[in-house]
Structure formats: structure tokens, C-alpha cells
Structure 1
Amino acid sequence: MRSVVCTRPGLMELEDRETPTCGSGEALLRIRRIGICGTDIHAYGGNQPYFSYPRVLGHELAGEIVAVGDSRDQALVGQNASLIPYLHCGECRACRKGLTNCCQRMQVIGVHRDGGMCDLLAVPTVHLIPSASLSLDQLALMECLAIGAHAVRRSELDSDSLAVVVGAGPIGMGVVQFARENGARVVVIDPSEQRLAFCRETLGIELTLNPTQEDPVEFLAGISDGALADVVFDASGNAHAMQKGFDFVGHGGRYVLVSIVKSDITFNDPDFHRREMTLLSSRNATREDFDRVASLMAAGRLQETAMITHRAELAEVPEAMPRWCAPSHGVIKAMVHLAPSA
């Protein structure tokens, strides 16, 4: 079968690999869609901290279940499904507490082990989310949006809150949509005028800010009677922006780091204590978050497919990836297609 392998930072190659089989508790997924996310872009650029090479990328996946390892799962064959790519151990303390998203022995498909940039992938059956109503594009976007759903749920954001989302990439746009679902007043900060316009025109966010043109602290103080934000979410993937975000949090506020970078993040301790700020990280998502995404997609409450701006076939990915990583190409979400007969 075909596989696209990131052999080293900056280089992807199309290879022929052995077709997998599925064992007990597994299903064989014929990949039909692969969403490209910030993790893939950072891995391609050599900036993903949990990554080793060579690696087959791809964890935002949708496909058709074509075989199962156990006869009791036979009804799944022929169904389209999304995949929860976080393979948790089920035995560590985090898993026993239901925190499967941050398992001590976490293996993420497409990060710690080879992913879905291929024709066929054997996956645990319990990690599949079959759907007869959602499109392949929607199914491939579930993981991306579940990251945002988890971050907002973790923040305990309520309808009386002023929420700031720094970084208007696909993850940030997911955070924006779930923050709005919680009834919060939302501000989006990003240096890209194109992405800010998308947030205004497509997502319906009235308050947007380009930090290269306006001072975010002054702006936030002006719309909050000096109180600043109740909750700040960083989805920028930029260490400087992540550190700057501490300045946006008001007294008693919460700062949720959705981004991850290969560097240290520091803050001023007296200011941190003076505001009695809460600092949170948000990693991956749980089935609860995926179920919420599926429910809101089915209800038509999300603008998920509007985020797809670029498309390519699997064999075109090695050539397309450098373009997708360049800000000048205006990519919000790239989607890889595999033909039904692949």
C-alpha cells in the first residue's frame, strides 16, 4: 500500500509498505480523509517535542471500516468512522481517574507511532466513532475540534466570562466555537488579517485584534472596565505569544495553554500571585469531547467544513506540504483525499 513518510524534518516521501492486517480487538480502516494540523506542520518543521523520525504522519482521520478482527464487531464493516488517535494504557493512575487524554504511557497515532497517511491502518475498534450521518470531511475534523472542546471544558468557562483566544488556526477556531457555545463573550487575537476576517465573517466573532497594530492589554482593558480576561486560551504555537498571554489574564482568571512548543515558558511570579491566576495545560481530548463535537456537528451548530481551504491527493502531499506550511499560502485547514478504490 501507499504511505507518505516524513523521513526527516522538511522531507516527505511516498513509499510502498506492507498492507496491515487486523488482530483481535482491531479494525482495518481504509483511509479516505486526512486533516493536516499544527502537530503535522511542527513535525515536518522539526519543532514537535514528542516526535521521532522517520514517521508516517496523520492523526485527523476518517475512513471506511473494511475488516474487523473479531466476529462480534462484524456490523462495523462498511461503516464510515472517525478515529480517536490517543492510545491510552487503561492502567495508569491518570487512566483510572478517567483522564485518558494524558495517560502516563500515551501513544498518539501519527506522533509516537505511524499514522494515517496511508491507504489502510489497523486501529483498536474501541477508538472508532462510526457515523451514518456525518460526511467524511466532518469525521476527519472531529479530532481537531475535540481539542478545542476539551480546552473549553477544562477551563470551566461560563456565560458571564470574557474569553480571549490567541491564535486563529484550526485549533483556535475550535476553541472559539466552543467558547461561544458556552455563552462567553469572545475576543480573537492573531496577526493574520485573513484569519481574523474568517473569524468575523464565518464564525461570527465581532471582537478581533491584530497585535501588530493594537495593544491587546489596552484593548481588553477598554472592553472590560479594566478587568481584562476571565479566561485566556493560547493556541498560537508561539513561545513569545504564550508568555505574552499572561498579561491578558485578569484577577482570579485562568490561562489555558492549548499550544505546545519546544521551549521554556516563564512568568513573573509576583504578578502571577497578585492576580491569583490559575495556569492550566490542555492535552488531547476524551471520548466525552468527541461525543460533544459529533452532537454539535449533527445539529449544524459548528462551521467545521468552512475551515477547509486547501485539498490534495495522498501522492501529492510531499510536494504540497512545503506550501501548506508557508503563511503566504493562507492555509487554514488542508485536507488530504484518498479515492474510494485506493
Structure 2
Amino acid sequence: MKKAWMTAAAAAVVLAGAGWGGWTYWQGRKAAPKAAPAAEAPELPAGALVSLQGVLRAQNVVTVIAPLDGVMEEVPVTVGEEVFESQILGRIANDLLEQNERNATLELERAQARVGALESTLLAARLEESRASADAARARSEYARAEREYQRQRILLREGATAKNTHDATQKVFESTQVESETLTALTRAIQERIQQASRDIEAARKTLAEEEEKLELARLELAAEQVVSPVDGVVVAIRKSAGAEVKKEVDILFDIAVDLTAMEVVLEPEPPVLKRVKVGMEALVDLADLPGDGLPAAVRAVEEGKVYVEFASPTPLARPGDPAFVRLKLP
């Protein structure tokens, strides 16, 4: 009995200790002070000078758009490189245009071969016609002599002044020369007709040749568009499509070229407390690393989408797009 009471008392003590510990822990949590909020940066006073770092950018930029569909095959220029008008900036491979150029070249070669063959045929026909005309002229002359002699022998035979065999021999010569003359005359006319037809064929073939030359010239002009050239003198400030990229005609921009490095601006991204106090038209000073001094006069051109654009006139060609610059502003 006594042993059971002692066991119950011990258990009560343990429970009481646990309850006190839990109450103490809860009180400690309840009494723990809240953390103080972080102190906000103090507002800069009016007239405060701030110096902000930004990136130089050219104000006047010419974009180069893809002149045809295809794949950029090579880009031999780099960002920051000076380029001149008509300099090759890249090459676009277009299988269809290359095949068109090959087909046009083949058709032109065929047209040239046909014209050459027809001209050779015409030349040979003219030589043949020349010989046939000479033979026909000779045959007509002989036929004329034989006809006169035959007519004379007929008269003599009728009057009994010549032998019958002499008359018959003359008649045979007359008849043979007549056949030869008619044959050679007909041959000459046939050759002349062939010459006229060959001339007409050559005229048509030359017309076809001219058309094929125009087609080839057009195909080569289209193929020349594979060479992307700079439209202006300037500095490459961005390459939008690298080698291997697909491009769409008159859709994709390939390059950005700055054309006037005297008209520059600095792009800033100030913190919100400063950004909200920057206004368009505010005066500023731009500090360039390569141009020591009191700074270049500048002005805020625009404040858009969290960025500030400060424009200024650069007196040095050493200031390049992409270089860092500092801008000093006096806050209102």
C-alpha cells in the first residue's frame, strides 16, 4: 500500500514538472520581441549629385534585313568591327537559287550550242550553194550552146544540108545539157531554200539565246543576294543571326550598324528612388574613360520602362557602342 502511494506521488511530481516546463516555454515564446523592420534608405536631398554607370549606345543605327530565305552560312565580321559600304557581312545559302543558277547556265549552254550548230549548217549551205550556183551557171551556158546548135541542125536537116546522125548526136547533147541544167538549177533552189530556213532557225535560236542569257543574269542577280553587304559605312553593334541560323526574307534582322558615332547616348538602369526623380530634359555630365576632363554636357532624352537614356555629342571616335560610361545627375 505504501509502495503504491509513493509511486503515484512520484508520477505527480513528474507531471507537474512537465507542466511547468511547458508553461515556461510558452511564456518565453509569448514574450519574445518581434524583429524590427529594416530601415529604408534615406531620401536623397534636393540638389544631391548621383553618379550612375551605364552603357554607350549609338543613336543612329541602320538595320540589315535578310534579303532572301535560307541559312546563314558564314559571318566574317564581329561586333565592334568597322565596315564600309558594300562590304560583305555574311552569306546566306539558298539551295533553290543555286539550283536555278545551275539550270539557267545549262540552258544557256544548250542555246549557245544550237546557235553554233545552226551557224555551221548555214555556212556549209552557203558554200554548197556557191558551188551549185557555179555548176548551174555552167550547165545553163552549155545548154544554151547545145540548144543553138540543135536548132541549127534541125534547120540543116530539114533542108538536107546535114547528115541524120549528126543531127541526132546534136539532139542528144542538147537533151543531156537540158537535163543537167534543170537538175542543177533545181538543186541550187533547194539549197537556197535551206539557207533561208537555216537563217530563220538561227534568228529564232538567237532570240532563245538572248532569253536564256536574261534568265541566267536574273538567276545570278538573285544568287548575288546570298552575299549580305553593308548598306553604309559604320560600326557593327549587333549580330542578330549567327552561322547556321535559318533566316526569313524581309523578316529577320541580321545586323545592326551604327552610322554616326558622334551622336551617342548612355543607357542607365537606376534604382527606383533615383529613377522616379529623373525627368526628361534634365542636364547631366557624361564621363568617358578615354576622355579625361570635367565631363561632356548631356541631357536626359527619355525615361522608359525603368531605363534612362542620356544623349550627348561625342568628340572622339574612341567612344564605341557597348563601352561603359558614367553619368552625373543633380536630383531635383
Q: Give TM-score scaled by structure 1 length.
A: 0.18
Larger radius of gyration: 2
Structure with the largest fraction of helix: 2
RCO comparison, higher one (Cα < 8 Å, 6+): 2
